[in-house]
Amino acid sequence: MTAMTDDELNLLTTLRRDLHRTPELAFEEERTAEKVCRVLDEAGIAYERGLGRTGVVATLRAGSGDKAIALRADFDALAIAETTNLEYRSQNPGVMHACGHDGHTTMLAGAARALAKSKSFDGTVHFIFQPAEERGVGAAAMIDDGLFDRFAADAVYSMHNMPWLPAGQFATRAGPIMAAEDNFEIRISGRGGHAAMPHHTKDALVTAAAVVTELQTIVSRAVDPLEGAVVSCTQLETDGAPNVIASHTVIRGDARSFCPAVSELIEQRMKAIVAGLCAAHGAEFTLDYTRVFAPTINTPAETDRAAAAARAVAGADNVDADCAPMMASEDFAAMLREKPGNYIFIGNAAPDGKGSTMLHNPAYDFNDDIIPLGVAYWVALVERELSAG
């Protein structure tokens, strides 16, 4: 594995900041894809565009080995107005790279360039630059476009920065590492009326308040305490006014779990609770329950290999191979349902605070100092998975 030159680091840092300056939302990443392709062109790396609408897949082959692996980075941004004063802050109002996808894309492009130069592997590597991760639909869109049919892979890997993990460290685990995300919308219809005459109404807001409170018992009383689960009501809308009792309310929210059986249980209990309370209050309801993200589940053998590659570049003391799972969700789960693989965290927090702001925060910025380590990890993983000797 060759150390990164100053010229290459400057090129990649420039790319990362350029991507940060011009963020694009899900399935709008045309300029982002073009910038990635330009950097791949400079290294003579072949690629195809348009998978999953705006995705890019680059391919390198070396030696005569018949094994193939895929490495994935996401490159969409979030609908957040940036509050930093960085020279390269977002120039797209209301849109920013608040999750480090600009950094993920840069590190994967850097790895492709390094491997194109060294050819220090025996087999095939596909570099997947994925759109629309934040919406949870980009991985599925690429798969539906024939991703693994056109670019066969024995395993697939991904990496995400983690601002509360110190730079220089990695963390991963076998089994569930990120949760499933389910969204729900409950619409309650009653009979509104004058606030001075509540006995003539069927108050949709009071009914909704009872529902919000009772939904908290799903996790506390219906889910096994040893299973991870969260049910959060995040929005409550009504057509009431200070002197008008509401006829209609809408409750929206989010449920998280690691096990499909728990997700099913949450939906069943939610339906029973809403039906019972609406009947008690004389109201009617509809419930839409949508599974947006599957749980991200790492396979043991690929996790061992990912951890070994991380140790090779960061040292054994800087790799946690059995970290706690997180309740956040990740679109990469769709790829792990198709192929064995691993999802690993790379530390992004520096002592001076750079890169340490929470993800999805308007003041977030990726820590450029970890670009060489991220590139080195990808290269080490490829060299071990596709050993040339």
Catalytic residues: 76, 133
169: its two tokens: 């460290």
End-to-end Cα, the chain, rounded Å: 14
Q: For 142, what's the count of Cα atoms within 13 Å in the CB-facing half-sphere?
A: 33
Q: What are the residue ranges of helices labelled H in the chain?
A: 6-21, 30-42, 101-118, 138-144, 147-150, 204-215, 217, 260-281, 300-314, 333-336, 371-385
Beta bridge partners of 186: 251, 287
Cα dihedral 76, 47, 370, 165, rounded to 10, equals 50
Pairing of strands 123-130, 68-74: parallel
Beta bridge partners of 297: 176
Q: Rounded to 5, what percent of the chain is helix, strand, coil?
A: 35, 30, 35
27: its two tokens: 């399935």
Dihedral of alpha carbons 48, 52, 53, 55, sign: negative
How far is 306 from 300, CA to CA, in rounded Å? 10
Q: Are 24 and 79 in contact (CB under 8 A)?
A: no
44: left (phi over 0), alpha (psi -120 to 50) or beta: left
How far is 304 from 322, CA to CA, in rounded Å? 10
Query: Buried b / exposed e across 186-215, counting CB within 10 Å, b at 16+?
Result: bbbbbebbeeeeeeebbbbbbbbebbeeeb
